[in-house]
Each structure stands twice: as structure tokens, then as C-alpha cells.
Amino acid sequence: MAAKEQDPSAEKPMILAVQQAYYLNAKNPSDDAVLIDCAKQVGLNVEIFAEALNSTAVKQQLLAELKFARSIRVNSFPSLMLEEAGKFRSLVFDYNDPEVLLRQLA
């Protein structure tokens, strides 16, 4: 959210950098230093990012998104939800077998 606030086009690269830090390098994505390093990797101004990271506005946005996730019964991350006519349902996925997901969409 802090990356997107600084540069909307940085959102996806930042998400990728955070995922790589966590899944490939076993770094804690809740650690400010890890997030600041990811911001640096994607070319953001780290001073602006660090300030925004713990700002009231970003914290409120995070809480709002978590509240929404809970309202549609997202209990784990990552999750995949399908919205149809304003109703949400959880989809099961398998990283090794796309057919698991595709059968639910058929």
C-alpha cells in the first residue's frame, strides 16, 4: 500500500519483491527493514516509503482490507475468491495441477 501510494505502477513489482523475500529468502515480510529493502529493489524512494509504511493512512487502509477479507470469509493467504453477482466463494487451487481450479470454473 505504501508502494502504491508513492507510485501506482510499483504495486505489482513490490508484491513480487515481497513474495521473493519471503518464499525464496525466508525473510519476514512483517519486518519494516525487509519491506524497505524491497522498496529499494523496485526503485522507490526509500525515505518516502519508510514514512508512508507506518502512516495512519496506510494502517487504516490495511485494516479496511483485512476487514473486507474477513467479511468474505478469507481465512488464509494466499486465497482465491470468485465474485459472482456480489457473492463470494472460495476456490480451491493446487500449484501443481491447474485442473483443480479449472474444474470449479467450468
pLDDT digits (tens, 9 = 90+) for 21-69: 999 999 999 999 999 999 999 999 999 999 999 999 999 999 999 999 9
pLDDT of residue 78: 84
* Element at 89 (helix H, strand E): strand 87-91
Assess contact for 45 and 6: CB atoms under 8 A.
yes
Give residue 45's domain range: 2-71
Residues 80 and 93 in one domain: yes
Residues 78 and 96 in one domain: yes
pLDDT digits (tens, 9 = 90+) for 89-98: 999 999 999 9
Residues 96 and 64 in one domain: no
Q: How many independent structural domains does the chain possess?
A: 2
Residues 35 and 51 in one domain: yes
